[in-house]
Amino acid sequence: MAEPTTEIDEGLYSRQLYVLGHDAMRKMGAANVLISGMKGLGIEIAKNLVLAGVKSVTIHDPDSITMGYLSSQFFFRAADVGKNCAEVSRERLAELNSYVRVEVLAGELSEEAVSKYQVVVLTQSPLDEQRSVGDYCHTQNIRFIVADTRGLFGQVFCDFGENFTVFDMTGEQPISVIISSVTKETKSVVTCSDETRHNFESGDYVTFAEVQGMTELNGCEPKPVTVLGPYTFSVGDTSGYSEYTRGGIVTQVKQPTVISFKSFSSSLTEPEFIVSDFAKWDRPAQLHLAYQSLDAFVKREGQLPRPYNKEDGLKLVELAKKINSEATNKVDEIDEHLLAKFSYLARGDVSPMQAVIGSITAQEIVKACSGKFNPIRQWFYFDALECLPEDFHELPEEAVKATDSRYDGQVAVFGVDFQKRLEHLKYFVVGAGAIGCEILKNFAMMGIGACPEGVIYVTDMDIIEKSNLNRQFLFRPWHIQKPKSTTAIESVKEMNPALNAVAHENRVGPESEGVYDDKFFEALDGVANALDNVDARLYMDRRCVYYRKSLLESGTLGTKGNVQVVIPHLTESYGSSQDPPDKETPMCTLKNFPNQIAHTLQWARSEFEGLFVQPGANVNEYLSDPEFVARIIKQQGQTPFQIFGIIKKSTVDDLPSSFDDCIVWARNLFSEYFERTIAQLLHVFPPNHNTTTGQPFWSGPKRCPKVINFDLKESLHVDFVQSAALLFAETYCITDVKDRAYIAEKAASVTVESFVPKNIKIHTTDAEARADEQITTSEEELETIVQSLPSVASLGSFKMAPLDFEKDDDSNHHMDFIVAASNLRATNYSIPIADRHKSKGIAGKIIPAIATTTSLVVGLVCLEMYKLVIGNKKIESYKNGFINLALPFFGFSEPIGAPKTKYNDVEWTLWDRFDVPGLKEDGSEMTLRDFLDYFKNQHQLDINMLSYDVSILYSFFMDKKKVAARMAMPMSRVAQEASKKGIRPGVRNLVLEICCTDANDEDAEVPYINYNFK
């Protein structure tokens, strides 16, 4: 293999680098890949591979484009019919990534042609070609992959040679834990600090650092682990080592794993399977036989089986029986119904299946190029037969015949009537990022909303950035700074001009309910989320539950992805269950006792807010709001004192008059952070300090710090002062800034305050800190600090410019400050520092992402959509999924049913509600008295409290005069009076909640109320 390239465009590959790492990316940057077949599956593979950033992709396909190829080949246009598949694909693939060379291989797949590539991929090719090319590749140590789809069936095969080395099987960060003891014996026992689970597995390798006493462990060759328990493990014989004293960090060391693959021919007769769905554990063997039978059918008949043709289905089954009888590994019992369906759908070509199989294949190519992650060994089969009707029956051949339509491949699976239903759908896609682009691409291929009566709405308030181009494949370099939603719609309309799509640039939330109102939602057939945050997901989930609309939910995290389908009256909602919150780092750890780079980065990020965001925001509010002081004083605890202190410091104590003042401020800040604060901590807790139990204070997770003195020769020191001075100046709108040399010279001349120990308490636990926070500021202290604030008049036109943290703009110095501050604090505590890339990922909370996972997850989403549209009602027909392409792991399960609750004799779920018609027969609106009587008479429920939003409309403890007055009021007027706000125009329903007792005078849990008053 060629030498890896060293230059990686971190701006383009930023999210992917957090998945693969620089080493794997460099190896990919030296790899040449050949892909044969540029129909829907081939283009999906090639697209993901070009986005991933290999050195070159060579494509091969001698065929000419037909209209039917447009079923899933998103780069073909109607005007391309008759042109060469590979030539048309090359031009549009090349636009995706200027760093990847895309070429066309003309002629046959000869051994000479194949020999030039590190990876060779065949898509939808005949078995003889797979055998000859595959066996040749095996002898030449060329990685070989086969991929194929037939309707709702898919296949992947991998052969990476007899000695393929995987350098990282999982891609997970190495485990690192602090230890509290190591025994000196032949079978050592290593114990983790503070009963922290180590999460190692027997067979893992580890090394040690910072061990005191048993120093032979420090920097040792990686040692194999034997797990003894959740908090203990052994690293073998330590009897010849010194006595352990204290401290130490143990870190997992990833070990290379050599894997041996069989050739294609050998694996064909002696297959090894990866199970795609454990509910179908016997399916791979059946489909392995089905694919061989299909090849035999084509050889004999000269064509693929006709869609839903019973005669062809019987022929394929008979061929399967013959092949099975001659096989060395026989299938015990052939599933004739399965093979018949395989025959019926063999001519099918559906975009979601190409997305699923194409993405998995592309990820296997990435593994073959980089040596990162565990490859498929060696056959993978997948089917989505649940997309067919639950009462499956053969469609008439007239309904599935080809008509030279772009949808012929999909019609061959589902029929022409189903295709019309897809075209008439009205769907709302929320988000046009990575997932949103893939959804829109699949929708365009499927024909969703591709008629005047159908429509796709998509909303996204973001604009396109360079880092988006690596996985949001509807965007190109010339789209940067354009709106995502409108650009995405323009791109998919090129793919399918019949698409009726409307782009919005709104954030979904209460503020946009005037746009996405009752009329909007009631007209929809469903919603597809393409969001990157939980709050927005939960909001859309609540809207879908209220309007009883299906929701397709998905997400990705590196090589991991999940899919959830939410179906009205059948499943639980997205919000019914949530992951536990992330474990928060104690504040005392961040403030005084960090032990990981993540701690110092979180501290630096917090200091950025405290220095460059909050002061400006507080000062500007003080200047613009006459009631600011009075309003803040009403707050409890020390918060008012702290806020006024910040304002005084910003407008009096630290107010700069020039950029030189900003440099002085930054130099003093360096001294405060990394000299005086650390010296004070060591004054309170000296290095030899012991706890009340006699144990060393600086042990376990507490790392003893050291003071850093400013040194002009240290680049990191100057980085901090420069970035801090520039950001401080920006908040004060000082524009006459100086260069680095000037800043360094000025900083070196600043005389800083010498350290003088203070008699203060330093908290060692958050509980201590919270107890002290309960101490309130006296009125005298508060009055004193308020009096010390400059008057608004004295400040004149003064105004500050609080910063908005932006991690991706390298010219704004935000990350310069974060990296310098974090690494200096890490140096204080002898924590290994982090480079800018790692720092940006942690401080910016960047979600790792790669195009393959995104397109796979969306393929699974769209398969679930088929089931919704076809009208399947059984919960077992649907699949929630979790995948991890690194392992590889595929897990599918039935959605969880909506939990049931009961009042009186009525069962209900979250999908149920009381729909109350507010207008009476005479056209007048129901009064509060009418409302209470309605529930008493219709539902045998006595209401004792009624609320709207956060306002109480009625309760048993309310003032009797107020209740009496409201009893005769129309309900909508009661709601307005109680909430003290009007009802937005276009709103026809009020959501009300009640507390009530049932027929047995027991408290009853009941659904909410949808009150219609228009």
Strands (E) in 232-302, as ranges, are 232-234, 249-252, 257-259, 273-274
Stretch (H or E) spanning 990: strand 989-997
Report pLDDT digits (tens) over 807-842. 988 899 999 999 999 999 999 999 999 999 999 999
Predicted confidence (pLDDT) at residue 4 exceeds the cutoff of 50: no
Residue 351, domain CATH: 3.40.50.720
- The answer to whether residue 312 sits within a structural domain is no
User: 102, 112, 164, 156: which is closest to 133 by C-alpha?
Assistant: 112
Three-state DSSP at 28 gives helix
Residue among 142, 48, 141, 134 nearest 97 (CA): 48
Determine whether 137 is an active site residue.
no
Confidence (pLDDT) at 581: 74
CATH of the domain at 992: 3.10.290.60
Domain membership of residue 623 as a residue range = 596-830
Q: Which residues pair with 1003 in a beta bridge?
A: 997
- The pLDDT of residue 991: 95
Q: Can you give the pLDDT at residue 634? A: 82
Instruction: Give the model's pLDDT for residue 194.
Output: 82
Q: Are residues 784 and 638 in the same domain?
A: yes
Q: Are residues 245 and 265 in the same domain?
A: no
Are residues 88 and 30 part of one domain? yes
For residues 48 and 192, give the distance between their C-alpha atoms in angstroms, rounded to a whole number: 42
Task: Kindly state whether residues 249 and 155 are assigned to the same domain.
Answer: no
Q: What is the pLDDT of residue 981?
A: 86
Q: What does the pLDDT average to over 507-525?
A: 95
What residues are paired with 914 via a beta bridge? 1009
Residue of 158, 192, 451, 588 marked active site: 588
pTM assigned to the model:
0.94
Which among 213, 238, 253 is the end of a domain? 253
Q: Which helix (H) or strand (E) holds 527?
A: strand 526-529
Q: Could you report the per-residue pLDDT of 174-218, keeping only the tens digit for each?
A: 999 999 999 999 999 999 998 789 999 999 999 999 999 999 999
For residue 328, being part of any structural domain is answered with no
Domain boundary among 361, 383, 405: 383
Whether residue 81 lies inside any domain: the answer is: yes
- Identify whether the C-beta of residue 40 lies closer than 8 Å to the C-beta of residue 70: no
Asked if the structure places residue 323 within a domain, the reply is no
What is the overall mean pLDDT for the chain? 95
Residue 298 inside a domain? The answer is: no
685 Cα distance to chain centroid: 42
For 218, which DSSP code? B
Do 880 and 934 sit in the same domain of this protein? no
Percent share of the chain, pLDDT over 70: 99
Q: What is the mean pLDDT of residues 314-334?
A: 96
CATH number at residue 248: 2.40.30.180
* Same domain, yes or no: 187 and 156: no
Structure tokens at 449: 């909303």
Banded model confidence at residue 944, pLDDT cuts 50, 70, 90: very high
Q: How many domains is the chain built from? A: 5
Do both 657 and 791 map to the same domain?
yes
Asked if residue 708 and residue 614 are part of one domain, the reply reads yes
Say whether both 108 and 35 belong to one domain.
yes
Which of 893, 921, 946 finishes a domain? 893
pLDDT tens profile 987-1004: 889 999 999 999 999 999
pLDDT at site 526: 98
- What pLDDT digit, counting tens, does each position of 481-509 carry? 999 999 999 999 999 999 999 999 999 99
435: its two tokens:
């997932």
Written in H, E and C, the secondary structure of 931-981 is HHHHHHHHHCCEEEEEEECCEEEEECCCCHHHHHHHHCCEHHHHHHHHHCC
Under 8 Å between Cβ of 203 and 240:
no
pLDDT for 3 equals 46
Which is higher by pLDDT, 981 or 860? 860
Q: What are phi and psi of 292, to 5 degrees?
A: -65, -35
Tell me which of 459-468, 772-781, 983-992 is least confident: 772-781
The continuous run of DSSP H or E covering 659 comes out as helix 659-671
pLDDT, tens digit, 9 for 90 and up, residues 874-890: 999 999 999 999 999 99
Note whether residue 973 is domain-resident: yes
Asked whether 504 and 406 are in contact (CB, 8 A), the reply is no
Quick one: 638 and 661 in the same domain? Answer: yes
Cα distance between residue 278 and residue 269, in whole Å? 23
What average pLDDT score do residues 262-267 get?
A: 98
Band (1; pLDDT cuts 50, 70, 90): very low
330: helix, strand or coil: coil
In a domain, 392, yes or no: no
528-567 tens-digit pLDDT: 999 999 999 999 999 999 999 999 999 999 999 999 999 9
Model confidence at 258: pLDDT above 80:
yes
Range in 764-768, 770-774, 948-952 with the lowest mean pLDDT: 770-774
- State mean pLDDT over 667-681: 97
**Where is average pLDDT lowest: 206-215, 476-485, 583-592?**
583-592
Q: Are 879 and 864 in the same domain? A: yes
Q: Which of 318, 392, 382, 376 is nearest to 352 (CA)?
A: 382
Q: Is residue 453 part of a domain?
A: yes
Angle of helix 836-843 relative to helix 814-828, nearest 10 degrees?
A: 100
Residues 821 and 878 in one domain: no
Q: What is the pLDDT of residue 986?
A: 76
